[in-house]
Chain A
Amino acid sequence: MAAIEFRDVSVKTAEGRVLLDRVSLSLEEGTTTAVLGRSGSGKTTLLRLVNRMLDPTSGTVFIRGKECEQHNVIALRRGIGYVIQETGLFPHFTVTRNVGLVPELSGKHLLKEKIHELLDQVGLDAEKFAQRYPHQLSGGQRQRVGLARALAAGPSILLMDEPFGALDPLTRAEMQDMLRDLLGRLKKTVLLVTHDLDEALYLASRIVLLEEGRVVTDVAAEDFLRSDIPAAKAYAEAFRRGQTDHDQEQGE
């Protein structure tokens, strides 16, 4: 049974603009799928359907074989890890409270040892950071806390929306290493939205390319660069060119 399945899913705005157009995808348990695409291609919309931040206009999303809309929305969200680019840490909570928040919502309070274990998992020194507030952390540290929070309730599904998009290249690479190692051990079903092809290739086993709300490529990560599909070739080429320009600028 697929962990997440999108069956013929479309999303339209009230004004009639199509955000997703008859998308069908199936994400197997314990795999990482990267969704690539330019801004406005529908990547984030696709991700937000899983935790019902949005409902489809037509079609159905299934979570572990059960229609998304039949899940209790609050329980569904608490059971899905969620990481975004801006981290969305609560500025009035310490790192400890932020990390333990999702279990706290269900009336369970995580032990200090468990919080420290979660922080260790994401590479943060718990003794040093547990009592700090988000504004006392760097961007990378905040992302680590955001990831620890997403893992705190032990979700089997992890939604990540451009999680490292706002970080500098070095920190991003460190975070990618940490995440790859973590996902290798934890076996979560991950839906990773990114526009960074390297990140997708490094972290995901499968790559889905969206264009104007449609799936134009859906291949194993190792096949993406060899793909004959024009949209995939164009994306890879554009990404490489962007990287080369960037490298040249750095060199100057």
Chain B
Amino acid sequence: MSGFLAQYHDEILTLTIEHLWLTGSAMLFAIAIGVPAGIWLTRYTQWAKPVLGFVNIVQTIPSLAMFGFLLPLPWLGESAARIAIVALTGYALLPIIRNTYAGIRGVDPTVTGVARALGMTGMQRLFKVELPLAAGVILAGLRTATVTCVGIATIAAAVGAGGLGEFIFRGVASVDNRLVLAGAIPAALLALGADALLGLVEHWLRVPGAAKL
């Protein structure tokens, strides 16, 4: 085993960084799109059902098929990493949009009503009241999205995007469980680590006593 680790140490590190890069980029895009989209839906609730329905459908597309669909597209198809990031962004959107929407809609209407009555502008209400009070729910969505992304990113190796999936595919092809584990274990650790980190942020942002009032 130590021989195996010595042999693949550098590659595990490189592919882990690649995996992190794919997942991190996708999460940044998904947050940049998903959080504003979720906020927008709370202002135009008539769009909530169709938009959430659409991202729900995206979520149900098998990941391998999704990579396949994106492959022939111009510009996108030229780079495997681009395909992977777009696909992962698509998968991460649902929990982020849904939780942002549900989190803000779940803020006590008495509190938002008072925020209006005291003379808060729409932006002040959003940043001083709604987002802080919805932060726990939004972060729970980010945690789900991150764990999903880390898992699905292993499939990105199928289109040559790299990441820890490389090991898994190679291991499956050569029936070598050590290679499969060399991809699966770091991927699982990444997912757990990201989840724990976001859990800490969630704890840090938790509103004192919000549930008790």
- A and B: partners? yes
Listed in ascending order, the chain A residues whose CB lies under 8 Å from chain B are: 51, 53, 74-79, 82, 84, 86, 88-92, 101-102, 105, 133-136, 149
Report whether B119 and A134 are in contact in the complex, using a CB–CB cutoff of 8 Å.
no
Considering the complex of A and B, which 6 residue pairs feature the smallest CB-CB distances, nearest first? A135-B209, A88-B114, A78-B119, A77-B119, A92-B207, A135-B212
Residues of chain A contacted by B110 (CB below 8 angstroms): 84, 86, 88
Query: Among A51, A77, A133, which residue has its beta carbon within 8 angstroms of that of B209?
Result: A133
User: Would B111 and A91 count as touching, CB distance under 8 A?
Assistant: yes
Cβ of B173 under 8 Å from chain A: no
Q: Compute how far the CA of A76 lies from the CA of B118 in the bound complex, rounded to whole angstroms.
A: 9
Q: A74-B121, A91-B210, A102-B119 are in contact. List 19 more A-B contacts (CB 8 A).
A: A53-B113, A53-B116, A53-B117, A74-B119, A74-B120, A76-B119, A77-B116, A88-B110, A88-B111, A90-B129, A91-B111, A101-B118, A102-B118, A105-B118, A105-B119, A105-B124, A135-B212, A136-B209, A149-B118
A88 engages B210 (CB within 8 Å):
no
In the assembled complex, how far is the CB of residue B129 from the closest CB belonging to chain A, in whole angstroms? 6
Q: A90-B129, A92-B132 are in contact. Are A135 and B213 (CB under 8 A)?
A: yes
For the complex, give the distance between the alpha carbons of A149 and B111 in Å.
14
Contacts of A77 in B (CB 8 A): 116-119
B132: chain A residues within 8 A (beta carbon): 92
B117 touches which of A75, A82, A135, A136 (Cβ 8 Å) = A82
Q: How many A-B residue pairs have C-beta atoms within 8 angstroms? Tell me.
A: 63
Least distance between A54 CB and chain B CB atoms (Å)? 11
CB-based contact B119/A75 at 8 Å: yes
Q: How far in angstroms is the closest Cβ of chain A from B56?
A: 31
B120 pairs with A51, CB closer than 8 A: no
Known: A133-B208, A134-B213, A135-B209. A90 touches B120 (CB 8 A): no
Q: How far is the CA of A101 from the CA of B119 in the complex (A)?
A: 10
Contact B119 A84 (CB under 8 A): no
- Report the bound CA distance from A89 to B115 in whole Å: 9
Binary per-residue interface labels of chain B (36-79) against chain A in the complex, 1 for a CB within 8 Å, 0 otherwise:
00000000000000000000000000000000000000000000
Chain A residues, Cβ within 8 Å of B208: 91-92, 133, 135
Interface pair B118/A134, CB less than 8 Å apart: no
Complex Cα spacing A88 to B114, Å: 6
Minimum distance in angstroms from B197 CB to a CB of chain A: 22
Whether B210 pairs with A92 at a CB distance below 8 angstroms is yes
User: What's the Cα separation between A82 and B213 when bound, in Å?
Assistant: 19
Please, which residues of chain B bring their CB within 8 A of the CB of A133?
Answer: 208-209
Tell me, rounded to whole Å, the shortest Cβ–Cβ distance linking A141 to chain B.
13
**B61-107 interface with A by 8 A CB criterion:** none
Alpha-carbon distance A129/B120, docked complex (angstroms)? 25
When chains A and B are docked, how far (Å) is the Cα of A75 from the Cα of B118? 9
* B114 and chain A: residue at smallest CB distance: A88
Q: Tell whether B133 is near chain A: CB-to-CB under 8 Å.
A: yes
CB distance from A27 to the nearest CB of B (A): 18
Could you pull out 5 A-B pairs where Cβ atoms are within 8 angstroms?
Answer: A74-B120, A77-B118, A88-B111, A90-B115, A92-B132
Contact of A82 among B114, B128, B210 (CB under 8 A): B114
Write out the residue numbers on chain A whose beta carbons fall within 8 Å of the beta carbon of B118.
Answer: 77-78, 82, 101-102, 105, 149
Complex contacts, B128 vs chain A, CB 8 Å:
90
Bound CA–CA A190/B124 (angstroms): 27
What mask results when residues 140 to 152 of chain B are scored 1 for a CB within 8 Å of chain A, else 0? 0000000000000
Q: Smallest distance from the beta carbon of A72 to chain B beta carbons, Å?
A: 10
Residue numbers in A under 8 Å from B117 (CB-CB):
51, 53, 77, 82, 88
On chain B, the residues within 8 Å of A89 by CB distance are: 213
Complex Cα spacing A77 to B122, Å: 13
User: Which residue from chain B places its CB closest to the CB of A76 in the assembled complex?
Assistant: B119
Provide the residues of chain B in CB contact with A102, threshold 8 Å: 118-119
What's the Cα separation between A77 and B212 when bound, in Å?
A: 28
Q: Which has the most chain B C-beta neighbours within 10 Å: A51, A74, A75? A: A74
